[in-house]
Structure 1
Amino acid sequence: MNPDAGPLGRVVLALCAVAVLLIGVAGRAAGWPVATVLLATYLNFGPGLAVALFGRMPWHRLVLLAVTVSQAVLVAVSFPFAWTGAVRITALWPVLAVVSGGLMLLAVRGDLRLLAAGRARWPRPSRDLAPTALALLGLGICLFAAWRVAGPAQPMGAAITAGPLWFVGAAVVLAAVVWSMLGGSVSGTGRLAGPALIASSVVVTSQFVMYRMPTVGVAARHLGIVDLLQARGYLSPETDIYQTWAGLFTSTAFVFEVAGVTSPFEYAAIWGTVAAPVMVLAVRTLAGRFVISRRAWVAGLVFALASSLTTSFYAPQVVGFVYALMILTLLIGRPPARHPWTDPSLLLATALCVALTVTHQISPFLLAFALGALAVFRLVRPVWLPLIPMLLAGGWAWLNLGVLQRYLPTGASFGRIFDNLAPPSRAASPYPVSIVNQVTFGVPAAALLLVGCFAVLTVLRLRTRLAIGLTAAAASPALLAVGTDYGQEGIFRVTLFALPWLAILVSLWPMPTRVRVRTPARIALGLALVVMFAANTIGLTGMDWSRVIRRSDVAAVTYFENNAPPGSLAFTLGTGAATPSRITRHYETVGFLGRETLFPADPFGQTGGPDYDPAADVDRTTDALLLTDAPQYWAIATTTTGIFGDRYGQQRLADYERLRAAWAASPRWELVFSDGDVQLYRYRGERA
């Protein structure tokens, strides 16, 4: 049974959303800082809520549909203007505010009549909420522990840095999960929802409280496109692939301008924190099409604890994943309609496919692969449904083939499935990869393999059309590897889109119908959750020291991009993969070089060892840098680059620090900016 929000809940939700909108608009005009939070919240939730309230659905689906449709609406009102540059991307904001607010009130008019007639009451408190309250207590303990040590990332990651108190809070959250799983009947709906969502977000929320910065460096480049859009008002799709599939970036620029966001990196950090439970909500909602509610929440929990190889951060692939699962939910199990154009679910799914098409390059194709696998086993109908995302994505790719072909793989990669699924490797690493690196990626990979083994055992035990169809859907993302390695990230996209189906298969294992569970089973369940949660924590936090963006790095890069003349180059002293780059509206006019680009044949072969001479390295790299064509040459020395190189076996951190000292002492370079452990230099002389 999946009770909907009820008349009173729907009315309260609609009135609260309208109040947030009105207070936000008034506060923005009056200059209240809180207005930014209110308007950003409304834009990411309100427009979709206005659509979702017209249907009767459970809370979890209502929230997911509101978030997903809101993102699609933001794309619809921003992307065309950003693509054409005809008017500002916020031109439709007054229309959006009036229409969405009015639709919400219109959607609950029947509920208001029920309230006026006294036929709707508050629901009685339920004991099913007790595990959620316990999980919230555990989350509060974790966040307090993280807040006490807030600051830049430390060598051992967020969890260990937060100290023993954090693990006490995590233990309380896990206890709430065990309590909710062992209590009630199999068909119960309320007990596991809260603990599962909290367990999925405890680590990422702790990271936000501690760092208040995105946990993946590439988020900085995404924010650079947003800043460019705000400054210029239009895209240059011929420049790069990011500005062609820019749905997320145009919608974010819309939010920033309307809400007055002045801390983009903090917004991106919050965005990634919220994305984690939303992804779990998407998996649970999809699972509900195949299994009963309690099993669906188990599937969401399994996904949450096994998905740390692909972190949730401000990125198009995260939005693409949620879009794809929402579309699958709308298309699976829907009652047949005589005419497709009269089917609301199909029409809404098609609209979401359009937003997905201009947001991420490969997610529509992975969605089509999954739909195709399900159609073969008659789990979706009609059989032509996979054509919707395939044709939309294929047509958009064809229209933008000029920019896309620069990123297409060479013919040598076609058909090399195992090579295309290989984990990413760093260029010419003369040293062994650090043990922290190996554990951070190896332990979650082992947990993921364990989930896969349980899924296979489920198929062998059941041997039903449903189980085999879910297995085919789980295998379908591997079709991506036939043609490309997706920039050495193919394995991450494949596992991300395969994991929901594997999690649903795991949820099909036998479950007790009553509370009477023997002590050994309770202990086994507790140990399994502890192991999976530990693997999740290691995967999400183990590389924090080298992966989380530092404010000092952002300050130095911002200074360079705002003060260097167009065409200038900045050298990062080590690998180019660590420094956040192109983070401002000067995204298109500056360049960054790492050792991989400057010395492609042997980037790190002469950066360490007993005979290493850092002063000679400064002269060698400076001379090589001067051979490139640029009006000015800059150099950025950051601890982040040294740490990243050390953990990937490229440079020893001690050798990198020696190079930094030699760079500071070189008469060929002058220090122009310093912030904490970051220094920014400019070449003194003229280009040869």
Structure 2
Amino acid sequence: MALNDQARGSSLLSAGKLDVAIAASLAAAIFLWLFALPLADPADLDDLGLVSILPAQYWTALVLVISAFAASLHPLSRVALLRPASLVALVILLHATPAIVYGTLRYSWAWKHIGIVDYIQRHGTVDPTAPFLAAYHNWSGFFRFFALFADWFNLGPLQVADLARFFSVISSLIFIVLLKFIFRSFTDDRRLQWAAVWIFLCANWVGQDYFSPQAFAYIFYLAVLALCLGPLMPQGSRSHSGVGRMLREFRVMFTSYTSHQRQVQPVLRILATLAVFASIMIIVASHQLTPLLLICSLAALSVMTPLSIGYPVLAGLGVAFWIVYPAAPFTAMHLPAEVASLGDTLEGVTGKLVNTAKVSSEVAIVTWSGRILSALVGLMAVLGWLRRLRAGYRDGVVCALLAAPFPVMLVTSYGGEAIFRIYLFCLPFLAFFAACLFFVSRNSGRGTAVSVVFAVTSMFLTAGFLLANNGKDRQYRFSGQEVAAAYWVYAQAGPGTLLVEGARSYPSQFSNYENFTYLPIANERPEEVAKILADPAAVLSRWFREPNWKDGYVIVTRSQRAYVEALGKMPEGALDELVTALAQTPDFQLVFSNDEAVVYRASRFLP
């Protein structure tokens, strides 16, 4: 008896020491991260992106966080808070780093989203018939919410942008909470739940968590799944029909789903139902694609579980209502073309993939990092699923949710962009099966070796994330000087202005965006680009002589140069030669200049 007490005391002592070591590692990691931030100079970014400027202190901090989380999964770790604390630390290192180091909002589409918020603030509403960015005006839930937020705090577009650079941090923290609830419905093994959330964060490289309607809608999508898998899931099928019996037999064959072990209070069920209804309408009002993916996921749940078919029907009715009524102007204008291009997603996949043979070796490394990371997670998921199957688990619900997004590829005209969205919606369930590779059951993965292998795998995943997610930051990161140049243009020009841009990759359209017609040279056909570069002053002068323009500017920035050179859109130095040509002709006058941007105005519009 005394020997057992002694052994128990030794085990508790070891557990206490391990938890102290984990907590110390996390504290040291945050300290090193804070020390590393001032050492990273965004001016030194190359075509490998963020990783090219991260100092050794950052990488040490990342290793410490990974090691701490892997150790927290060991049976000797008894402090439950260490796992979510490690996840929060990971989010800070992966997402807060670029936001702080760059000091400005990255990615040009995020600035466009701020432009719609600015429009609503100035006009009090949207314009469903707007000729430019029309989809945003017809699916405006996200923008209306943040316009209201900005009005509450009296924020202008630059202040909104300053806050929006941390949006991926906030959204990732929310993902942690919602995914934990979802994974709790699949397993009662907390190690597996937390490991699946961890892998999701490491593999979520496609960049759909930035300040955007997609990220906003995705939060509510996960919330709907969490509620439907949790408090809204019936205890069992009450149907006595032939179809009901067949479904019960089907579910017994393919799933061992046991979501509810305890009764749900009626008040909680009512509140959950109202929350699902509100979430569905927010999704429907904010994004075009997410409602379709939600319908597919809820339909899959209705087949694989006793969840009422009313939920996917409700989502479908919400989509139909929005298309027919609030988005009617957009529907009338674009529906024929949308129907004609159904299925273009499959044909457009290759169009969204970078041709690595035409870009620099660094850009090719970044491109392949995303592909390899996705393939690695997919391989881990397959192996994890096989382990679960061999161990006797029937994860039909997880498999159904994993497969649910793919039909969208056949019924949308999103083109190749949809492949990245589908990866995002599959990722929670890929991450769950990938985590099963390490923790297939409560009694597996309890040795030190598993923790070490998990940590090493996580290091590869996070390295892949940093390359794939931040590898294009030389073109997606914008300096304060570029922001100042763009803001000057948008503050000066009135309606009917032609704005010629070297490329779209700069902080654009975030203020008074409807005053302009935009012409990015890099988006022209290659033969047209060649003609422009052959004699830019003459070609651009001809454009601005069109009688319908009331004003006209040309803006060229550092990030535009980085974009066209990295992707081979123009020869190296082409935009510099264009600027030189404009400086040598009286048809244009330099009206704004700093170290990273120049703005020329067509002389015919000068007072």
- TM-score higher than 0.5: yes
* AA of the residue aligned to 1:179: A
Q: Conserved in 1, the CA contact under 8 Å of 2:297 and 2:401?
A: yes
TM-score by length of 1: 0.73
Cα deviation, 1:468-498, whole Å, max 9, x if unaligned, reads: 3312211211222112342542111111111
1:169-184 equivalent positions in 2, closer than 5 A: 169-184=61-76
Aligned position for 1:314 = 211
Aligned to 2:471: 542
Distance 1:686 1:252, change over 3 A: closer
Q: 2:438·2:454 contact (CA, 8 Å) conserved in 1?
A: no
- Unpaired runs of 5+ residues, structure 2, are 1-15, 235-263
The answer for the alignment partner of 1:345 in structure 2 is 272
Q: Secondary structure at the match of 2:555?
A: strand
Q: CA deviation at 1:454?
A: 2.2
Cα offset, 1:425, TM superposition: 5.7
Q: What residue number does 1:483 align with? A: 411
CA displacement, residues 548-600 of structure 1 (integer Å, 9 cap, x when unaligned): 2332222222222221121101101x33x31332211x222212111256x44
1: CA distance, partners of 2:333 / 2:29: 49
Alignment-derived partner of residue 368 in structure 1: 295
Select 2:81's aligned residue among 172, 176, 190: 190
1:135 aligns to what? 26
Instruction: Map 1:290-439 to 2 at 5 A.
Output: 290-292=186-188, 293-334=190-231, 336=234, 343-378=270-305, 380-399=306-325, 400-404=327-331, 406=333, 409-411=337-339, 413-416=341-344, 418-422=346-350, 424=352, 432-439=358-365
Is 2:233 the partner of 1:233?
no
Q: Say whether the 8 Å CA contact 2:74–2:447 is kept in structure 1.
A: no
Using the alignment, how far apart are the partners of 1:433 and 1:340 within structure 2?
58
Q: Which residue of 1 aligns with 2:574?
A: 655
**Which of the residues 125, 143, 146 maps onto 1:252?**
146
Distance in 2, matches of 1:386 and 1:507, equals 29
Deviation at 1:371, TM superposition (A): 1.3
Matches of residues 587-666 of structure 1 in structure 2 within 5 Å? 587-595=513-521, 599-600=524-525, 602-606=527-531, 613=534, 616-627=535-546, 629-666=548-585
Correspondence for 1:209: 100
1:24-39 alignment runs, 5 A limit: none
- Supply the distance in 2 between the matched residues of 1:458 and 1:514 (Cα, whole angstroms): 15
Q: Secondary structure at the match of 1:674?
A: strand
> Amino acid of the residue matched to residue 284 of structure 1?
K
- For the 8 Å contact 2:128–2:329, the answer to whether it is kept is no
8 Å CA contact 1:147, 1:209 repeated in 2: no
Structure 1 residue 286 corresponds to structure 2 residue 182: yes
Between the aligned partners of 1:570 and 1:248, the Cα distance in structure 2 is 27
> Does residue 167 in structure 1 map to residue 167 in structure 2?
no
Alignment pair present for 1:447 and 2:373: yes
Q: Secondary structure at the match of 1:640?
A: helix
> What's the offset of the Cα at 1:416?
4.7
**Secondary structure, counterpart of 2:529 in structure 1:** coil
Question: Shift in Å at residue 300 of structure 1?
Answer: 0.7
Contact 2:493 2:515 in 1 (8 A): no
AA in 2 matched with 1:588: E
The 2-side partners of 1:132 and 1:251 are apart by 38
Residue 650 of structure 1, CA deviation: 0.5
Give 1:530's aligned residue.
459
- Give me the whole-angstrom Cα distance separating, in 1, the residues matched to 2:19 and 2:315: 40
Distance 1:533 1:405, change over 3 A: farther
Q: Deviations over 1:137-194 (max 9, x none)?
A: 3133223312334555722433331322211211211221221122447x98433221
Deviation of 1:516 (Å): 8.9
User: Are residue 508 (structure 1) and residue 405 (structure 2) matched?
Assistant: no
3-state SS of 1:622 partner: helix
Is the CA contact 1:224–1:587 (under 8 Å) kept in the aligned structure 2?
yes
Q: Is it true that 1:570 corresponds to 2:502 in the alignment?
A: no
3-state DSSP of counterpart to 2:553: strand
SS in 2 for 1:581: coil
Partner Cα separation in structure 2 for residue 435 and residue 257 of structure 1: 46
Structure 2 vs 1, CA of residues 178 and 670 (structure 1 numbering), >3 Å: closer, same or farther? Answer: same
**Equivalent pair of 1:458/1:505 in contact (CA under 8 Å):** yes
One-letter identity of the residue aligned with 2:186: F
Q: Which runs of 5+ in 1 are unaligned?
A: 1-124
What's 2:155 paired with? 261
Aligned match for 1:274, one of 145, 155, 170: 170
Distance 2:267 2:450 in 1: 48
Superposed displacement of residue 131, structure 1: 2.6
Provide the secondary structure at the position in 1 that maps to 2:280.
helix
Partners of 1:484 and 1:229 in 2: how far apart? 28
Percent identity over paired residues: 21
Structure 2 residue 599 is the aligned partner of structure 1 residue 677 = no
Provide the C-alpha distance between the structure 2 equivalents of 1:174 and 1:342, rounded to a whole number of angstroms: 38
SS of residue in 2 equivalent to 1:571:
strand
Q: RMSD of aligned C-alpha atoms?
A: 3.1
* Aligned partner letter, 1:265: A
Structure 1 residues 461 and 341, CA, compared in 2 at 3 Å: closer, same or farther? closer
1:560 to 489, 494, 513: 489
How many residues align? The count is: 549
Q: CA deviation at 1:622?
A: 3.0
**4+ aligned runs moved over 6 Å, structure 1:** 337-342
User: C-alpha displacement at 1:308, in angstroms?
Assistant: 0.8
Report the secondary structure of 2:548's partner residue. coil
CA distance in 1, matches of 2:291, 2:311: 12
Using the TM superposition, give the Cα deviation of residue 305 of structure 1 relative to its aligned residue in structure 2, in angstroms: 0.6
Kept in 2, the 8 Å contact 1:303–1:503? The answer is yes
Q: Which amino acid aligns with 1:472?
A: A
What SS class does the counterpart of residue 637 from structure 1 fall into?
A: strand
Q: Which residue of 2 aligns with 1:50?
A: none
AA partner of residue 492 (structure 2): N
1:434 deviation in Å?
A: 2.8
Question: Which residue identity lines up with residue 312 of structure 2 in the other structure?
Answer: P
Question: How far 1:684 sits from its partner (Å)?
Answer: 0.8
Aligned to 1:107: none
Shift of 1:206: 0.9
Secondary structure in 1 matching 2:31: helix
Q: Distance in 2 between matches of 1:126 and 1:230?
A: 55
Contact 1:159 1:166 in 2 (8 A): no
State the alpha-carbon separation in 1 of the partners of residues 547 and 267 from structure 2. Answer: 58
Distance in 2 (CA, whole Å) between partners of 1:417 and 1:489 is 8
Aligned to 1:581: 508
Distance 1:435 1:388, change over 3 A: farther
Does structure 1 retain, via aligned residues, the 8 Å contact 2:475–2:505?
A: yes
* Greater relative CO (CA pairs within 8 A, separation 6+): 2
Alpha-carbon distance, 1:283 to partner: 2.1
Relative to the length of structure 2, the TM-score reads 0.83
One-letter code aligned to 2:601: R
CA distance in 2: counterparts of 1:648 and 1:666, whole angstroms: 29
- The alignment status of 1:222 with 2:113, answered yes or no, reads yes
The answer to whether the 8 Å contact 1:248/1:316 transfers is: yes
